[in-house]
Structure 1
Amino acid sequence: MEKATQHRIVVGGALVHHGRVLAARRSAPPEVAGRWEFPGGKTEPGETEAAALERELLEELGVRARALAQLPGSWTVRPGLELRFWTAELLSGDPRPLEDHSELRWLTPAELGDLDWLDHDREVLPHVARLLTED
């Protein structure tokens, strides 16, 4: 008997502070190491996307943040795993690469295209750029 695929959401966070957004360079797993992403992770059962993002940013970066709004679009990472991006604001702390990242950078809208982004994260860059220029 085949096990049904459970649908799970992964949230990526465009963490905005003073007109810049935080990018994180992956250190693991090997197939994506060295590429850049918006930090985040999988929702836990019963957890909202906003709560998952806030928890993941605390675990991965050591910061307290507030999830604000979902950005347009969603992407299938693999069957049963869907990626959605949210904007978030930094409330307290200085981001550090604690889990799965080797480097962090605060980027202006003009610098967004300078990095080797993971494919799904690259697709959301126009929305992030628009968000940064509205501030």
Structure 2
Amino acid sequence: MTSPSRSIHVVAAVITDARGRILLNRRTGNSDMAGLWEFPGGKREPGESSEQALVRELREELGIEAEVGEWVMEVPQLYPDKRLRLEVRMVRQWKGTARGREGQAITWVNADKLGRYSMPPADLPVVAALHQPECYLVTPDAGGGAEGWLAGLESAIDGGLRRVQLRTPAAADRAELARTAVARFGRQAELLLNRDIELARELGVGVHLGGEQLLQLDARPLPGSQLVAASCHDLAQLQAAQRLGCDFAVLGPVQATASHPGALALGWGGFEQLRERVSLPLYAIGGLAPADVVTARRHGALGVAAIRSLWPALQPA
């Protein structure tokens, strides 16, 4: 794909009402991607701040005077005719009654129903950021044996982690340990088994695919009720993950790591260049910690995935 010369910065709002519903705008027949639903907003003009642009756009589109709230994320997205950067802000307070002033339909949607609406590629990562965990634990492959590993997993989940890739210790009976982990913690967190599709199907949990597995599969390996994720390191793997209908992917390494000493680090610039070519929710991985979530979201990630910085026994005292 030839990179387009036109770059635009769009500011959009996640507008919530007293019931926690979120407002979506439907693109009209005269616009790009007509018929798709999106978070309302528009292009930031020269000389405008993001706040000024969003206030103006919401006044023009919806007839409301908005109080712009906290920053959510930024999504770089490459379209055939432009390179877009979507900046997203929360709006919880406004004056007036929202209505489609430009002839567009609007609707209020419960947050857990957003996935039912067809949306432009840049808006899809935002939906993920609104209700999916910002940290994804990858359990270490060794240390403390089976009981020590289970104790570490319990501590991590008790500490608030809600999405975990289970890589069981090599010395253990991996299938039996996975069954134990699912029995103990499957109601408290989203668990995904590393690579083992058949065992994931048996246990009713998710699977996390390796990059080479992606290229060997012709269809999503589990039903929609079970999460499917993947580790990706290049564009071909990302595109395969999207084609298979993966729920999210992990992309990296962003920085050099001890666990993959020979891997070439992408850096945040390299991460963005891959991020903008797919619409999948992505976690950044590689030398990152919870403190890097904001940075990750500035480059279009849902959050960070990590081993060392999220596993209690490996964190500095």
Q: TM-score, normalised by structure 2?
A: 0.36
Please state how far the C-alpha of 1:94 moved relative to its aligned partner.
1.2
Q: Is the 8 A contact 2:14 2:90 kept in 1?
A: yes
1:82 maps to 2:85? yes
- The sequence identity of aligned pairs, in percent, is 32
Counterpart CA distance in 1 for 2:6 and 2:35 is 29
Aligned to 1:66: 67
Q: Is the 8 A contact 1:40 1:53 kept in 2?
A: yes
Report the 3-state secondary structure (helix = DSSP H, G, I; strand = E; otherwise coil) of the residue aligned with 2:92. Answer: strand
**Aligned-residue CA RMSD (Å):** 2.0
Q: Is the 8 A contact 1:70 1:87 kept in 2?
A: yes
Q: Which has the higher strand share?
A: 1
Aligned to 2:21: 20
**What are the superposed Cα offsets for residues 80-120 of structure 1, whole Å, 9 maximum, x if unpaired?**
x4221111123211111112x52111111221111111111
Aligned to 1:35: 36
Q: Is the 8 A contact 1:63 1:90 kept in 2?
A: no
Counterpart CA distance in 1 for 2:7 and 2:121 is 21
Q: Is the 8 A contact 2:77 2:122 kept in 1?
A: no
Q: Which has the higher helix share?
A: 2
Aligned residues: 124
Any gaps of 5 or more consecutive residues in structure 2? 133-317
Report the 3-state secondary structure (helix = DSSP H, G, I; strand = E; otherwise coil) of the residue aligned with 1:65. Answer: strand
Q: Is the 8 A contact 1:9 1:43 kept in 2?
A: yes
Q: Is the 8 A contact 1:14 1:128 kept in 2?
A: no
Q: Is the 8 A contact 1:23 1:37 kept in 2?
A: yes
1:98 maps to 2:101? yes
Counterpart CA distance in 1 for 2:62 and 2:92 is 13
Aligned to 1:133: none
Residues 46 and 35 of structure 1, relative CA distance in 2, 3 Å threshold: same
Counterpart CA distance in 2 for 1:76 and 1:97 is 26
Report the 3-state secondary structure (helix = DSSP H, G, I; strand = E; otherwise coil) of the residue aligned with 2:90. Answer: strand
Counterpart CA distance in 1 for 2:63 and 2:49 is 20
Which residue of 98, 119, 130 maps to 1:117? 119
Larger Rg: 2
Counterpart CA distance in 1 for 2:117 and 2:72 is 20
Report the 3-state secondary structure (helix = DSSP H, G, I; strand = E; otherwise coil) of the residue aligned with 2:68. Answer: strand
Any gaps of 5 or more consecutive residues in structure 1? 131-135
Q: 4+ residue runs of structure 1 moved beyond 3 angstroms?
A: 5-8, 28-31
Counterpart CA distance in 2 for 1:30 and 1:57 is 17
Residues 49 and 31 of structure 1, relative CA distance in 2, 3 Å threshold: closer
1:48 maps to 2:49? yes
